[in-house]
Amino acid sequence: MSRLIALFAIERDEHFEIIERFNDKSESKIIPKDTPKTKTITYEHPSAIWFERKISDDFGIEFEDSFDKRPLLRHERFPLEIHPMLKSFDAKKELTFAPFKPYKYEAISGDGVFEVPVGPIHAGIIEPGHFHFSQAGEDMLHQEVRHFYKYRAIEKMVEGKNLDEVKEIVERISGNETIAYQIALRDIILQSANQSISDELRAYHAMLLELERSIHHLTDLGFIPNDAGFGSALAYCSALAEEARRVMKTLTNHRFGFGSIQMGAKSYDKDEFDKWLSYLQTKMSKFESWIMDIPSLWDRFDTTGILKHQKAIKYDMVGVVARASNVAIDRRDNEYYKNAGWSIVTENSGDVGARFKVRLKELFNSIKLMKEFNSRCSDKDIEPININQFSDGRYEAFVESSIGELYLYIEIKENKIERLFARDPSFINWQGLHLMMPGNIIADFPLINKSCDLSYAGNDL
C-alpha cells in the first residue's frame, strides 16, 4: 500500500484542486466551487483525517463519509463562515466571534471510567497542546491529542511573495528543524532556477543538517531518562547539547543556524571541528556504556509505549518513531549519503527503549557523516551563485529532519508564490501518539511523549 505523505488543497479561479501526495505517486482531484465535496480517504489512510479536517477549516470543503468532521484549526469561538485560505478572505476585516460551542472529545464510557484533561497550558515551559485521557484508575484506555492553539497563518502569509522573501519565515516554522526547512527551500529554489550548487557547498549543508540532528538527539537522550527519574543523564547530555549549540553558532553565527543555508559559505576551522567531533564521540561512547547498564532505567523503558510495526505502517509514521518500530523510512537512503557512511538504524520493539536506542545509534552515525562531510568541505570561502529569477511551476522537496521526513511544496505563478504547503513530520506522528498509550499508566505519558519528541510549532502552521 502507498504511504500517504501529504494532502492539501489549492484554490483555482474556477475550482479547488486537492493534491494527494504518496511516496510513489501524486494524484490530483478537481472539486467544483458550487458543491465543494469529495470522498474521504481516511479508511485507507487514517493519517488523512487531520489533513482533511484542516482542508475543511481552511477552504470549506466537505469530505463525505468521514468518521470525524470536527473542526481542527477552528477553536470554540472561531467565526463560523470564515475560511482563511480562500483568496477572498480579508484579514483586515473585523470578525465577529461565534457563540461558544464545546469541543466534543473522543472518550470511552463505562463503569469506573473517567476523563483527565491535560493542557493546553502546562506546568513546564512548553508550547500549548491538549491531551485528553480516558482512564480506569491509573490505566490509560484512550488518548486524544488536540493542538493548533497558535495558528500563525504561515501558508497565507507567504502568498504573493517571491522565494527570496520567505526565507526567514520558512526557516522559523519549527526551531527543531531550522536547517532542514532551509535545505528544503534551497532545493526548491534550485529547481525553480534550474541551477545546482558545488559539491563542497552541498557537503557543508549536509554537515549542518547532521549537526542539527545531533543537537536534538543529544537533548532527547538526556530528557528521556530524566522523565524516568534519572536526572544525571539530562545533566550529562544537556552540557554536550549546549556545546553543540555553540559549535553551530561558530559555524553559522546563530545557535539555531538561522540564515545559514545560502548559495555560498564562509570558511571555518575544519581541524577544530574535527577535533570536537572526536571529543563528542568519546563522550557519547562513555555515556553509552553507562546508560545501557542501568537495569532500573531499562525496566521503565522496555515495553513502555509500544507502537507495533503494523500500526506504524497503517498510520504512515515517519522518522525515529517509525524506525523504532522496524519501518525503514529515511530520506537519506540514497547514494550520496550511503557513500558518506550513512546506514539505516532500526529497532524491533517499538517502545521507549527502542526509540532511545535509535537516537543513540543515529547520533554515532551522524558523527561519522559529519567527519566525512567536513573532509569534503572547502578550506576557502565559497562564492555564492546569483539566483534572482524563478520559473513558474510546481516544486517539492523532501528532507530527513531530526524528527523525520519533512515535505515542502511551493507553486510559483508569475514569479510569485501561489501556494506553499509544509508537512512537518510531527503532523503525521502526533496522530499516532494515542496508539502507544493503552496498557500503560498515566504517569508514563510524559516518558512516552518525550520519546517521540514531536514539534508543536511545526505542527501548528
CA distances from 35 to 17, 31, 71, 440 (A): 13, 8, 19, 45
pTM of the full structure? 0.96
Q: What is the pLDDT of residue 35?
A: 94
Could you tell me if 258 and 344 lie in one domain? yes
8-state DSSP, 98: P
Residue 260 resides in a domain? yes
Could you tell me if 201 and 71 lie in one domain? no
Could you tell me if 390 and 343 lie in one domain? yes
Name the domain boundary from 80, 112, 146. Answer: 146
d(CA 424, CA 403): 9
Could you tell me if 119 and 173 lie in one domain? no
Can you give the residue range of the structural domain that contains 124?
4-146
Encode 96-122: b = buried (16+ Cβ within 10 Å), e = exposed. Answer: eeeeeeeeeeeeeeeeeeeeeebbbee
Q: What is the pLDDT of residue 93?
A: 84
Residue 457 resides in a domain? no
Q: What is the pLDDT of residue 95?
A: 83
Q: What is the pLDDT along the chain (461 residues), one digit of tens a residue?
A: 799 999 999 999 999 999 999 999 999 999 999 999 999 999 999 999 999 999 999 999 999 999 999 999 988 898 878 899 999 998 888 888 889 989 999 989 899 999 999 989 887 778 899 999 999 999 999 999 999 998 899 999 999 999 989 999 999 999 999 999 999 999 999 999 999 999 999 999 999 999 999 999 999 999 999 999 999 999 999 999 999 999 999 999 999 999 999 999 999 999 999 999 999 999 999 999 999 999 999 999 999 999 999 999 999 999 999 999 999 999 999 999 999 999 999 999 999 999 999 999 999 999 999 999 999 999 999 999 988 789 999 999 999 999 999 999 999 999 999 999 999 999 999 999 999 999 999 999 999 999 999 999 998 98
Could you tell me if 232 and 326 lie in one domain? yes
Residue 458 resides in a domain? no
Residue 9 resides in a domain? yes
Residue 151 resides in a domain? no
Residue 461 resides in a domain? no
DSSP 132-175: EEEEETTEEEEEEEE--SS---HHHHTTT--GGGGHHHHTTS-G
Name the domain count of the chain: 2
DSSP 370-408: HHHHHHHS-SS-BPPPP-----SEEEEEEEE-SSSEEEE
Could you tell me if 176 and 322 lie in one domain? yes
Could you tell me if 282 and 346 lie in one domain? yes
Could you tell me if 136 and 188 lie in one domain? no
Identify the residue whose cell numbers are 466551487: 33
Sign of the alpha-carbon dihedral angle for 214, 220, 226, 230: negative
CATH number at residue 392: 1.10.645.10
Q: What are phi and psi of 136, to 5 degrees?
A: -125, 95
Is-contact 268 251, C-beta < 8 A?
yes
Could you tell me if 318 and 275 lie in one domain? yes
Could you tell me if 139 and 162 lie in one domain? no
Is-contact 186 261, C-beta < 8 A?
yes
Q: What is the pLDDT of residue 122?
A: 85
d(CA 17, CA 396): 16
Residue 183 resides in a domain? yes
CA distances from 142 to 105, 294, 304, 363, 439 (A): 11, 31, 15, 33, 10
Name the domain boundary from 146, 176, 210. Answer: 146
Could you tell me if 90 and 191 lie in one domain? no
Identify the residue whose cell numbers are 567531533: 277
Residue 459 resides in a domain? no
Q: What is the pLDDT of residue 80?
A: 76
Instruction: Give the β-pairing of 37-39 and 62-64.
Output: parallel
d(CA 116, CA 137): 11
Name the domain boundary from 146, 177, 211. Answer: 146
Could you tell me if 323 and 175 lie in one domain? yes
